[in-house]
Homo-oligomer: A and B are copies of this chain.
Amino acid sequence: MHIILLAVQSLDGFITQHDLPGAGFASAEDQAHFKEALRTCDCSVMGAETYRTSRDVIRSNLTAARLRIVITRAPERHAADGVPGALEFTAAEPEAVAADLRGRGLRRCALLGGGAINAAFVAGNLVDELWLTIEPRLFGGGTPLLREAVDARLTLRSCHPLNPDTLLLKYAFRRD
């Protein structure tokens, strides 16, 4: 199974603008790209805070074509939201989550943040690609792309503009 970390950030690496939840700073072109990229995935993984921020949108767009996994310390608290095969909650570790998705025959997973979940998957060497939208902003604070220290090397696969000021960079994680 292929895991793609999908994120939009400021030039200085923040996926939120200061304390504002969500990616309201993302350009319309990034939002279109994000939806398009998600459509190519048969599953996605996110943290509980990311879920809470987008809960209404997620719940009104549930489909059996893409399983959403929310990693949370308290899956039982979200039991009422669960829809087996479409929206599931788990307290499992990243390795176990990835193994479970692989075991279900899923092939392409979008990793959607936040910073703690992103870092745990990167630290576990579980991520194959990074698709990073860089908006022309500097925040100097907010939720970081990765909330814990890692040391990952990547290879640039492509760089293309989503609009005159916004770049979409695609990288592969190096395994050497």
- A→B interface (CB under 8 Å): 9-14, 17-18, 119, 122, 130, 132, 134, 136-141, 144-156, 159, 161, 164-167, 169, 171
Contacts and interface: CB of A to CB of B under 8 A. Distances in A.
A122 B136 contact: no
Given A13-B14, A159-B159, A141 B149 contact: yes
A12 B159 contact: no
Given A119-B140, A139-B149, A149-B139, A132 B165 contact: no
B167 A151 contact: no
A154 B137 contact: yes
B136 A156 contact: yes
Contacts of A140: 119, 122, 144-150
B156 A137 contact: no
A6 B59 CA distance: 44
Nearest to A154: B136
Contacts of A10: 13
A155 B136 contact: yes
Contacts of A164: 155-156
13 contacts: A11-B132, A13-B14, A13-B145, A18-B149, A130-B138, A136-B153, A138-B150, A138-B152, A138-B154, A140-B145, A140-B149, A141-B149, A159-B167
